[in-house]
Structure 1
C-alpha cells in the first residue's frame, strides 16, 4: 500500500478573484503557495457547494430505470440515470427522491447512499452523491426540464449492452452503474 501523508498542509491561498462569469458559471483565479515554496496561479469553476445527486432507481432486483434527455454539452440525447442539484435545506436523500419523481415519475420507499463522487476536482468543486432507490411507486412531480424525458427500463444483468451504447457515456453514470452492481453483489 502506498504511503499517503494525511497531514500534508494545503497550499496557502494568497488571493482569489472571479475572472469570468456567466448565467451558470463563475471562473475563479487562485494565487497559491505550496509548502515547498512553489507558487502557481490556478483557475477553477467556483462552486456553490450545494452538491448534487444521481439516482439508480430499481423497479425490482434486476430492472433499472433510466432517462434519455438532451445534453447541451455534446448536442445529443444521452441515456443515463436521473440526477439534479440538492436544493437549499434538503438532504441528499430528500433531493434524490424529489429528482426521481421529477425526472422518472417514481418515488422510492428505500433510498441508500452508495458513494460520493466528484468531477474533475482539479477544476471543479462539484460533489455528487450516488443513491440507490428501491421499492418504487408511481409519483410525478413537475420538474424544470424543457421537454418530457423518455423513461427506459433496462435489465441490470444486461449492463454490458448498456455500456456498449454510444449514448451511455457519462462517467458518473458508469460509476453509478458499477456501484449499484457492487452493492447488489454484497447483499
Structure 2
C-alpha cells in the first residue's frame, strides 16, 4: 500500500501509476493537512496528517522527488561501463550506473540518454527499458526508470561542476562477483546488473 503524492512544482512530468496497479489512495487515506518543512533543489519534505480507511489518525513524513532514470551502458563485447564517484552521505566512493533525476519537461528516456552522454560520454543506438521501481517507498515517492543502452557511439562528456567521476569497465561475470563480495552496494546498480544476468525468456 503506497501513498504517492507529488508536491506541485517539483516537476512538470508526472509519472503514471505502474501498469496493472490501479491507485486506490482515496479509499485508503484521507489527507487532512500538509505542512511543507523543506523545499530543496532535489527533494521537498512534507509532514502529512492523514486518516486511514479504518478511521485512525496518523502522520507521515514524505520526501517528494521528481523521479530518476539510470542506464546500463553495454559495449559491443558485452562489457558494462560504471562510474565511480564519492557519495557524501555515505562518506565513501561507490560503483554505480550512470543516473540522474528527471528534469522538468523530460521523459525518463530523455533523462537516461542525457546521463549516458554526460557521465560516460556515449550515445545509444538502442535504448531499452528494463524495469521501473520505487527506491524507498516507506518515506519517499521517488520512482526510478532503468534502461539498457547498446550500440554505443562516443560523444563529449559534460560533468556537473561538483562531480568527480571515474569511468570503469567490467565484464558481467566480474560485476556478479563484485555484487557478491559487497564491493557494489548501490541498489539501482545491483538491480540493473541482475536484470542483465537473468536468463532471457
Same fold (TM over 0.5): yes
Structure 1 residue matching 2:74: 3-state secondary structure: strand
Relative distance call for 1:5 and 1:141 in structure 2 (3 A) is: closer
Q: Which residue of 2 aligns with 1:181?
A: 197
- Correspondence for 2:29: 11
Q: Per-residue deviation at 1:93?
A: 1.4
- The 4+ residue runs of structure 1 with deviation greater than 3 A are 4-8, 20-25, 164-167
Alignment partner of 2:83 out of 67, 85, 90: 67
Work out the CA distance in 2 between the residues paired with 1:100 and 1:45: 26
Q: Output the TM-score relative to the length of structure 2.
A: 0.80
Higher strand proportion, which one? 1
1:93 corresponds to which of 109, 113, 122: 109
In structure 2, what is the Cα distance between the partners aligned to 1:118 and 1:180? 19
Matches within 5 A, 1:36-185: 36-47=54-65, 49=66, 51-60=67-76, 62-182=78-198, 185=199
RMSD: 2.3
Structure 1 SS opposite 2:111: helix
CA apart distance, 1:45: 1.1
Partner Cα distance (1:73, 1:104) in 2 = 23
**Residue pair 1:68, 1:77 contacting (<8 A) in 2 also:** yes
Which SS does the other structure have where 2:139 is aligned?
coil
Segments of 5+ residues of structure 2 without an aligned counterpart are 1-20
Cα deviations by residue, 1:20-44 (Å, 9 ceiling, x for unpaired): 4555543211111111111111111
Task: Give the Cα separation in 1 of the matches to 2:151 and 2:52.
Answer: 49
Q: Please report the TM-score for the alignment, with normalisation by the length of structure 1.
A: 0.86
From the superposition, tell whether residues 121 and 165 of structure 1 become closer, same or farther in structure 2 (CA, over 3 Å).
same
Cα distance, 1:145 vs structure 2: 4.7
Deviations 1:13-65 (A, max 9, x none): 01111124555543211111111111111111133x3x211110100252001
Tell me the matched-pair count.
180
Aligned equivalent of 1:33, options 44, 51, 69: 51
Deviations 1:98-139 (A, max 9, x none): 101110111111000111111111200111100000001111
- Return 5+ residue gaps in structure 1 as ranges: none
Are 2:83 and 2:167, in contact at CA under 8 Å, matched by a contact in 1? yes
